[in-house]
Amino acid sequence: MKSFMESGAPVPRRGMLIFVIAGALLMAASIMAGAIMSPEGKDIPVVLADGEVITPPWYITIDGEKIALVDSQQTAQEVVGDVIEEYRRGSGTVLDIEVKEETQTEKMEIKNGDKAPDILTEKEAKELLSEGKNGESYLTVVTTEEQVQQEPIEFEQEYKPEPDMYIGEKKVETEGKEGTKEVVKKVVKENGRSIREEVLEEEVLEEPQEEIVLTGTKNYDGYGGGTGNYSGDNVSYDPSAVYETLGNPIDNIYISSGFGQRWGRLHSGIDFALAQGNSIYAADDGQVYFSGVSGGYGNLVKIDHGNGMQTYYAHCSKLLVSQGQHVSKGEKIALVGSTGNSTGPHLHFEVIINGNCVNPLDFLDL
Ligand SMILES: [Zn+2]
């Protein structure tokens, strides 16, 4: 590719009247002076067949092909220069202009008595060059521009757990607002069409305002978070090292809702869907320290296993043990029901270690 900015002044080649002009437009005046001073460049008038007297016209050649004929070398140079300069009117500051093709001027060989040649006006020649034969320009002008634009910065959403709203419910507490940044880009265009972009610099003009979305954590069986503190994804215990596998609290396992882990206090146990009246068993040896009605839990049994672990059995239709009673692993303690905040018969089963609700699946062998 020939750089428009870097090209030097035209040099006649081996005495032929061919001058490289692409890239030399800024120096058009001196080029002309040079052309006129050159002995070969002297434009001697000729008398045409129809009696008209003209100086020899000049071709504009592109990659060696004669594209247009105009009245003088100066016109030829101006036509090419104007077509290239047209692309300087970009949307940014033009850092560089290059032309892919090689453009030259070439004097027409003409002598006395020749037929009048078909000479284009400057305007016609410009149109021909920029529109080409099929609307495609004869020249590929590559501009490198620096553009400065303001662009929006998207806002982020923060989810805030809301225990008074059900899981799946959302409400915008604080509306988000886009910010603004100033972006400096280098854009490379071919004949005005962007072909490459590169971000050089970004400056934040206005920070975006984060959107705060309240997100329900209340489980449909009536409570989110249970009683203990949720331990999160990274539990600090080693189940296999300290605790034996628990016995299954029911016979036919179907998990209808897993242990929640997303926003801290989502679902403090797991739900086993089971028909009303099915048996519930103690998961391990221990002592019943609660057996009664407890808010959203409905009929609830709490067993302390004496090793820092407790288990909860909620929504029971019937309680079969009483407070203070010792129970063995696998012993029947209650019947499945739908008491408390529950939409259908199921067992809500919780495992609590050192006051933290943990995922019961870590301790069950289903
Ligand atoms: Zn539950």
Distance (Å) from CA 169 to ligand 1 centroid = 17
Distance (Å) from CA 259 to ligand 1 centroid = 8
Res 172 pLDDT > 70: yes
Distance (Å) from CA 17 to ligand 1 centroid = 93
Neighbours of ion ligand 1 (CB under 5 A): 221, 271, 348
CB 314 within 8 A of CB 359: no
Of the listed ranges 137-151, 230-244, 342-356, the one predicted with least confidence: 230-244
Distance (Å) from CA 153 to ligand 1 centroid = 41
Average pLDDT over the chain, rounded to whole? 80
Distance (Å) from CA 266 to ligand 1 centroid = 10
| Backbone φ and ψ of 237, nearest 5° | -120, 165
Is the domain of 150 the same as that of 123?
no
Distance (Å) from CA 271 to ligand 1 centroid = 5
Give residue 217's pLDDT band: very low, low, confident or very high (50, 70, 90). low
Is the domain of 174 the same as that of 253?
no
CB 312 within 8 A of CB 350: yes
Q: What's the pLDDT at 44?
A: 86
Count of structural domains within the chain: 3
Distance (Å) from CA 287 to ligand 1 centroid = 22
CA distance to 157, 285, 310, 353, 354, per residue, from 306 (Å): 43, 9, 8, 11, 11
Distance (Å) from CA 344 to ligand 1 centroid = 11
Percent of the chain with pLDDT over 90: 51
Is pLDDT larger for residue 290 or for residue 357? 290
Among candidate residues 192, 215, 238, the one where a domain is terminated = 215
Res 8 pLDDT > 50: no
Is the domain of 249 the same as that of 197?
no
CB 364 within 8 A of CB 246: yes
Of the listed ranges 2-11, 40-49, 252-261, 319-328, the one predicted with least confidence: 2-11
Closest CA to 230 of 256, 267, 272: 267
CATH number for the domain spanning 157: value is 2.20.230.10
Among candidate residues 164, 184, 215, the one where a domain is terminated = 215
Query: What average pLDDT does range 143-155 have in this prediction?
Result: 92
Is the domain of 17 the same as that of 130?
yes
CB 58 within 8 A of CB 100: no
Res 36 pLDDT > 50: no
Give residue 242's pLDDT band: very low, low, confident or very high (50, 70, 90). low
Look up the domain containing 312 and give its range. 222-362
Eight-class DSSP state of 248:
P
Is the domain of 125 the same as that of 14?
yes
Distance (Å) from CA 241 to ligand 1 centroid = 27
Give residue 267's pLDDT band: very low, low, confident or very high (50, 70, 90). confident
Is the domain of 259 the same as that of 354?
yes
Is the domain of 179 the same as that of 268?
no
Helix, strand or coil for residue 301? strand
Distance (Å) from CA 158 to ligand 1 centroid = 26
Q: What's the pLDDT at 265?
A: 53
Res 40 pLDDT > 80: no
189 Cα distance to chain centroid: 23
What CA–CA distance (Å, rounded) separates 221 from 218?
Answer: 8
Give residue 244's pLDDT band: very low, low, confident or very high (50, 70, 90). confident
What CA–CA distance (Å, rounded) separates 179 from 226?
Answer: 40
Is the domain of 151 the same as that of 134?
no
Helices 73-85 and 28-37: angle between axes, nearest 10 degrees:
160
CATH number for the domain spanning 296: value is 2.70.70.10
Is pLDDT larger for residue 231 or for residue 137? 137
Give residue 283's pLDDT band: very low, low, confident or very high (50, 70, 90). very high
What CA–CA distance (Å, rounded) separates 197 from 188?
Answer: 6
CB 146 within 8 A of CB 184: yes
Give residue 12's pLDDT band: very low, low, confident or very high (50, 70, 90). very low
Distance (Å) from CA 9 to ligand 1 centroid = 85
What CA–CA distance (Å, rounded) separates 296 from 99?
Answer: 78
Is the domain of 229 the same as that of 174?
no
Distance (Å) from CA 320 to ligand 1 centroid = 21
Q: What's the pLDDT at 359?
A: 86
Closest CA to 333 of 253, 275, 249: 249
Distance (Å) from CA 114 to ligand 1 centroid = 103
Distance (Å) from CA 99 to ligand 1 centroid = 72
Distance (Å) from CA 171 to ligand 1 centroid = 23
Is the domain of 85 the same as that of 134?
yes
Among candidate residues 113, 139, 165, the one where a domain is terminated = 139
Is the domain of 200 the same as that of 228?
no
Distance (Å) from CA 297 to ligand 1 centroid = 9
Distance (Å) from CA 64 to ligand 1 centroid = 83
Q: What's the pLDDT at 90?
A: 66
Is the domain of 288 the same as that of 305?
yes
